[in-house]
A and B are shown apart, each in its own frame.
Chain A
Amino acid sequence: MRRAELLMAIAMAIFSAYLMWMSAKLPIGWVPGRGPGGGSFPFWLSFAMLICTVWIIVRWFRRTTPQSRSSEPFFDSRSLTLVLLVIGALVTMVGSIYFIGVYGALPLFFVFYMRFLGRHSWAKTMTLALAAPVITFFFFEILLHITLPKGATETLFYPLYDIFM
């Protein structure tokens, strides 16, 4: 926990500096006839962010906050595995949308999550895995007219559009 606190503060300090650098591409001071420059607002706020991170780091050295005194691990290994697994599954799902579309990615995600993480019965898993895309299709595409990305499965939907739209 103690190390995580410092690492996060340093990461955020670097990020603030990066934001300042990016903001400074536009004028950060007063532009005659045009008022405060386009970069001024983000620049000075990023600067304030940097000051806050420095403040956090100073407190870390002085061990004034609970986090900087804590000797507990930031993650225990069991929850770390679990969290990483879930994040990995999410990234895979979103990535696969480009290829197999939302309607391909959703069932796979449900199968993975319910069957392999939740250990639910196949019957339950498949019911949800199949119901989810159907409900999504009718709710989003037909009712709300929001087209979701379909990747390679695009042409499969033409007949559905012909029927329902």
Chain B
Amino acid sequence: MSAASATAAPAPPKVLRVPEHTVEIVSDSGEGAQKCGQIFGAVSAKMGNGVWTVELIPAEIQPPPRVPEGASGNRIRLGEHAVTNWGDRTNLVIAFNEQVLLARHRVDSLADDAVILIEDKWARSEDADIVAQWDAAMKELSGKHYRIIPVAMEDQCLTIVDNPKKGKNMFALGLLARVYGRDMERIKEQIAHAFRKKSEEVYNSNVALLELGYHWAEDNIDFRVEIPTHAADKPLVVMNGNEAIGMGAIASGMELCAMYPITPATSVSHYLSEVFEKFGGIVHQAEDEIAACGVAIGASYAGKVAFTITSGPGMALKTEFLGLAVMTETPLVLVNVQRGGPSTGLPTKVEQSDMLAALYGQTGDSPHIVMAPATIEECFHIMITARRLAETFRTLVMVLTDANLATGVSPYPKPTLDEAWQAAPLDLAPVKEGQKAYAWNKDTGLSDRIIPGRPGGMFTLTGLSHDEGSKVAYSSGIHQHSSAMRSRKIAVLQSLLVPPTVYGEESGDLLVVGWGSTKGAIEEAVDRARKEGLKVSSLHLRFLSPLEPGLKDIFKKFKKVMTVEINYSDEIGDPYINEENRRRGQLSILLRNATLVDVDCWGRVPGEPLRPMSIVDAIRGRVPRGGAK
């Protein structure tokens, strides 16, 4: 570790030209580090850098100040080209105190040679305990080769504002703007947007702090970082996955979002509540999760296109109603933004642990469709397909995203909207004489949906087992037949899916299989492993029920198959764990069942996205040099 004091006479800064760089801004909760990171990420994307941002969110809403557990902020990975994941370690950190910095250090988030710009007022505190904490932290950090640059952020901010806590983030943004050569005018536009509901005075003081930070860095920081930018050949949009879900819902012609607030899904409804009505939609905040699901089912039954959004605990509460949607064959889209579990688990942290609950969590036999977007862009587009499939197959479609996609921000090509994405007008004409509510095609299980109000279309809607005419029927023959019909639809959908594409060579020593938000990290890891000479490829699934076809044939071409997931799995070699009792990763369980292939798994639940280097390590463990046996 080396400490460099700020000097008044700057030499020309050393310019570091790199293809990518990762930045973190960390503070106590409420000090605005997230807003700083969001603006920095958005401006970087608009300037033509690849960007992937991840919010660092404490588990508590208002944790105490100056504790490692309260670290809040943003991590932004910038690249010359598209960035698909948050990467491995951070190259530059701005920390508002040494405790939040320690939090990042302790989870091995910082590169060994990371540059740290840290508020140093704590070292000069009149409180001896704080000084002691500072000294202890510096000692702990000294084990690495960090370059620590003390910055008197609050002292600087006090030259402009009375309360530096409200604005220190803009000073930090100014530092980053100078170091990374960001366009100040674009930053000011973003600030204006971020504070559009505040007074001009607030905007002006934020801009003044931004410029103060910029000039301070100009005078005192002896390096700059240049990451080449490339103008996009298509117009891009920059947003997080939850906004993309909301926009996709609008583009798909959905008309109702019924929800109950739950982290990390709530921001979808925040976004929609601002814009949905302009497009004829309604956001309904129900009294609880169950009611939200009921409202969505009711609206959908009545002919509107409805969806409900939640996270794991909410999906558990909706279970009975989800079964009702399946039994009544009412189209419904449910979005589950996964977080850590079980129970309330890790509300603000990413996990992929709801897959089996989503697939099998309902009582009885409850076949339905489960899909998972792999990128923020796919969060937008999946909603169009989900609505279409829910209506076409008269069933429940679950969309599994996660906290990584929900809060991560990345640019993607601006979608060209198409009227064909929207639902066709309802046919409210009289139903054909003799038409039954569930006139199942005996081969496909498909039947025409009758919208209430159509003359001659009256029938009893029931969650009880029923026959084609929706008459309650307990006879074993009818239940057997109706169960087969509901199940058959899933097989029909599978017959329409195309086999997934292998990333890399179509045969080799190891095939890594993933789903959801891990795609970018897995493919980056596979690229690195292949550069090391390992014969590794990957496959990323978007459909979990039904599974995409041809998996067994694909798996056969590899010596080993392993899933990589953000859910827990036992490790062989741990006490008591053997092949027989090992609890495997959820996708691995699913694939073993479907293909009878001995699919291995590697899963972690660190409460953060997987890092490519961790996956590379796992790959190396499965495929030593010389190849798998």
**Do A and B originate from a single complex?**
no
